[in-house]
A and B are shown apart, each in its own frame.
Chain A
């Protein structure tokens, strides 16, 4: 008879939290995809052995405290300005692996100019774009990425095309720019999606070595609090509603 105690032994351990996540409890709501996104980025940095060469730039948004959770050198930027800050860091330290981690309000609203121009300048950085279609941190307001018909605190009857326009597909937009070498859209809500995203994260960091410009990874994620759903329901809703507008897969490179 094999007991649980026989199985739970150091030599049988196949998964545990990466050392590159600090002991601080994430400030995220239960079920929020930000935590999984943090974890796989840090796992890749650990597996590639580049912790001393990696510098991250945190945004304004729910992930404003990313520097408290990711145990690599980090800088926090003003809202939307992470690609500009990452530009400076990467130019001063050209051999470092510099990345930004930004929400959709940060990257595709107030930071649109910084995003597009960093991409156009072929900065040697990785951009992680966590698209949950909403301003999570400030109470679930409509973002440029909010879906048509989607209810938010500032579109309580659903986003209406006539008054509020179309959701912006900024990932497809940056793929048009010559300064961007790799663009992909992934998710982190299922084990299979997590494994794919991890491969994409690794490819993006490896691209830093060839100095051919930005690698851009969108992660379509849930904001169960802002969407006012349970975490499990929000992931189902995301598959049914977000993925048709933001289809997963490689877009460039």
Chain B
């Protein structure tokens, strides 16, 4: 059966660490980093990348428009 896989790329240096995307992801893919970026913000990253469906929920609500989303059919 065809399955949808997704992935996101966060522009780490422009992420402001607001956590809104983490809260919006329906499959709990995202979390905030322990490291900080050059501005001192913790940034969003894919903690569970296998669970990403490329649904774009995170990118719809990211106030700084720093998330790029990819999606493909597999199998």
- Residues of chain A whose beta carbon lies under 8 Å from any beta carbon of chain B: 2, 4, 6-9, 12-18, 21, 25-26, 28-36, 39, 188-191, 194-195, 230-232, 235
Contact = CB atoms under 8 A, between A and B. Distances in A.
B69 A189 contact: no
Contacts of A15: 56, 59, 67-69
B18 interface: yes
B43 to A, nearest CB: 11
Interface in B28-75: 41, 46, 49, 54-57, 59-72, 74
Contacts of B17: 30
16 contacts: A2-B74, A7-B71, A9-B70, A14-B71, A25-B14, A25-B64, A26-B64, A31-B20, A35-B63, A188-B61, A190-B24, A191-B24, A191-B57, A194-B61, A231-B18, A232-B19
A148 to B, nearest CB: 27
A2 B41 CA distance: 31
A28 B63 contact: yes
Nearest to A23: B14
Given A7-B7, A8-B9, A30 B16 contact: yes
Nearest to A43: B65
A17 B69 CA distance: 10
Contacts of B55: 191
Contacts of A6: 72
Nearest to A231: B18
A4 B18 contact: no
Contacts of B56: 14-15, 191
Nearest to B66: A17
A8 B7 contact: yes
Contacts of A13: 68-70
